[in-house]
Structures are given as structure tokens and as C-alpha cells.
């Protein structure tokens, strides 16, 4: 359609809920709803690129938003975003972004501030066939620089608890959740589907890569140094990963935090199979260690 000379639905100044599903073109710059409280956006499979600048302009023109949920199937173009600055949405309580193509959108999210958000969810979906062999699994978690910006702009309280969940039922799901003292949560995640082939990464390699990236984030992100509780939930059946949970990596993570002078007070490990002695190993470095073997919901 030809671009309209005036905003679409220009008379709907009191509109509160706007849901847009677009197959090929995004016309957000043709909508202005100053009293919007809920915005839901989903793009269809016909998309190839998504210009972030138009989305930021739309969000800034909707300062009363309380809930934002977006599912984007496209490669995000960040041209002009750095020069634009940060869009502040002071009333947003829930912010959710699900990506299932291209790179994760952490750089985009770092240009949106929701200081009052109680729940933030940033999930990236990837097909196993799109992850080349020997490539770092970087889709699940942001760089330290992006993480610092995200935490400062989506919560006002220090992170107290960290939860890492790696599950396969049937899609491989890896989520890293951070809970602040005011119960604010930020969830980062990667979902991987497919079986792969000889030219691509296996699910087992993804599991190892995700655990390594998550451990590095927990150890190195400065704004996580005050966290006192760590919960690891591991639900990977043998048909996905031949080896049980990597105990040595968990102990190394907990020991490194202790050596940095930032020990965890409590570590909980919840897995389908645990080797003997893991609790004793963890108790060397934390006040409380809890280890459970639970088999429900495992694939057989």
C-alpha cells in the first residue's frame, strides 16, 4: 500500500491494546497511540530484515505502555540505533522478546529501558542445522557490556539469586534467570530444535557450550557478584547427551566464586543423575549445598 499522509487510526487516541501481526512489511511509523498500555507484535515467515529504529520510535511515542510482547522472525538492522539513544518506558511491568532468526537482540534491548519491569524475558530460538561445527554458542547470553546495560535498565535492585536450567523435552531449552531482592526477574534463554548432521553442531555440543557460556557469565558479569544463591536444574536424557551433568564444571564455578571473595551461600543441583560425592565437594566452598536426583519428565 502507498504510505499514508496521516497516521492510521489517528482518532483512536484512547486506544489501550494494540496487536499487530505482519507477514512482510512493518508499518509501525504509521501508528501513533499515546495512551497505549499493551503492545503485542509478531512477524511472519516472509520477513528477512527488521529495522529496529522504527520500533524504537513507536515505543517512545507510547509512554504509557505497561506490557510489551514481541516475537520477531527476522535479522534485526541496528542502523542508527546507537546514535538515537535509549528509549525509556517508565510504566512497563512485563517485557518479552522472542527471536527466532539471525542474531540475538541484546544490543537492541540495551537501547530500551524498563526500570519498573518486574518480569523481563529475552529468548532466542535456533535450528541446530544453523549452528556450524566449532562455533561458540553465543545465542543464549549477552556480552558483559550488553548485560550491564540490560541489568541497569530493567531492574533497580541487586541480583540475589541465579537459576540455570538446561532441559530437553523435546526441544533443548537453556535459560538463565536472575532474581533481584525485590523479586524482579530477568530471564535469558536459548531454544534449539533439530537433529543436525555431520556438518553442524550436535545437541550434546550445544549443551556443553551453553553450560560453559552460562558459567562464564555467572563468574564474570560484575553485576552478579552479590548473588548468594545458585540453582542448577539439568534435565537431559541419554539420547541427547551421553554424559551426565558436568560436576567438575559446577565445582569449578563455585570454587572460583569463593576464590574471588564472592562465595555463594547456597547451591542447589537438581538433576536426573548425579555422581556420588558431589554434595561433599560443593560443601567445601558454600555454607549450604543441596543435591537432588529426580527423574520425572525425562525422555526415555
Tens-digit pLDDT profile for residues 235-272: 887 766 766 677 888 999 999 999 989 899 999 999 87
pLDDT value for 298: 42
Q: Find, among 133, 139, 150, 119, the residue nearest to 224 by Cα.
A: 150
Measured distance CA(92)–CA(53) in Å, rounded: 19
Handedness of CA 74, 79, 83, 84 (dihedral sign): negative
Per-residue pLDDT at 61 exceeds 50: yes
Q: How far is CA 284 from CA 89, 154, 280, 296, in A?
A: 45, 35, 7, 29
Which SS3 state, helix, strand or coil, does residue 55 take?
A: helix
Q: Find, among 72, 11, 73, the residue nearest to 40 by Cα.
A: 72
3-state SS, one letter per residue, for 119-168: EEEEEEEEEHHHCECCCCCCCCCCCHHHHHHHHHHHCCCCEEEEEEEEEE
Report H helices in the chain.
52-60, 81-84, 106-109, 144-154, 203-220, 247-259, 278-282
Query: 86-144: per-residue pLDDT in tens?
Result: 999 999 999 999 987 666 678 888 899 999 999 999 998 887 776 655 555 555 678 77
Q: For the residues 73-94, what does the mean pLDDT come to?
A: 89
Mean pLDDT value across the chain: 83
Per-residue pLDDT at 59 exceeds 60: yes
Amino acid at each position: 500500500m502507498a504510505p499514508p499522509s496521516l497516521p492510521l487510526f489517528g482518532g483512536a487516541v484512547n486506544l489501550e491494546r494494540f496487536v499487530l501481526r505482519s507477514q512482510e512489511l512493518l508499518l509501525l511509523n504509521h501508528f501513533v497511540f499515546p495512551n497505549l498500555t499493551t503492545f503485542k507484535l509478531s512477524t511472519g515467515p516472509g520477513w528477512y530484515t527488521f529495522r529496529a529504529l522504527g520500533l524504537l520510535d513507536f515505543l517512545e511515542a507510547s509512554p504509557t505502555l505497561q506490557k510489551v510482547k514481541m516475537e520477531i522472525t527476522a535479522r534485526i538492522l541496528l542502523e542508527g540505533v546507537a546514535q538515537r539513544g535509549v528509549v525509556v518506558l517508565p510504566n512497563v511491568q512485563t517485557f518479552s522478546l522472542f527471536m527466532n532468526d539471525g542474531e540475538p537482540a541484546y544490543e537492541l534491548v540495551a537501547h530500551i529501558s524498563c526500570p519498573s519491569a518486574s518480569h523481563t524475558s529475552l529468548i532466542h530460538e535456533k535450528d541446530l542445522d544453523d549452528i556450524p561445527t566449532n562455533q561458540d554458542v553465543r545465542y543464549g547470553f549477552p556480552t558483559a557490556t550488553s548485560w550491564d546495560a540490560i541489568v541497569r535498565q530493567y531492574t533497580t535492585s541487586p541480583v540475589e539469586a541465579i537459576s540455570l536450567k538446561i532441559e530437553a523435552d523435546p526441544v533443548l531449552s537453556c535459560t538463565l534467570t536472575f532474581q533481584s531482592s525485590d523479586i524482579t526477574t530477568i530471564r535469558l534463554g536459548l531454544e534449539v530444535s533439530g537433529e543436525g548432521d555431520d556438518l553442524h553442531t550436535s545437541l550434546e555440543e550445544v549443551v556443553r557450550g551453553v553450560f560453559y557460556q552460562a558459567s562464564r557469565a555467572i563468574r564474570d558479569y560484575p553485576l552478579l557478584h552479590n548473588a548468594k544463591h545458585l540453582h542448577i536444574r539439568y534435565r537431559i536424557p541419554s539420547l541427547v547427551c551421553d554424559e551426565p551433568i558436568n560436576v567438575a564444571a559446577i565445582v569449578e564455578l563455585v570454587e572460583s566464586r569463593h576464590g574471588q571473595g564472592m562465595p555463594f551461600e547456597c547451591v542447589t543441583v537438581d538433576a536426573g543423575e548425579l555422581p556420588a560425592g558431589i554434595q561433599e565437594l560443593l560443601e567445601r566452598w558454600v555454607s549450604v549445598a543441596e543435591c537432588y536426583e529426580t527423574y520425572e519428565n525425562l525422555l526415555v
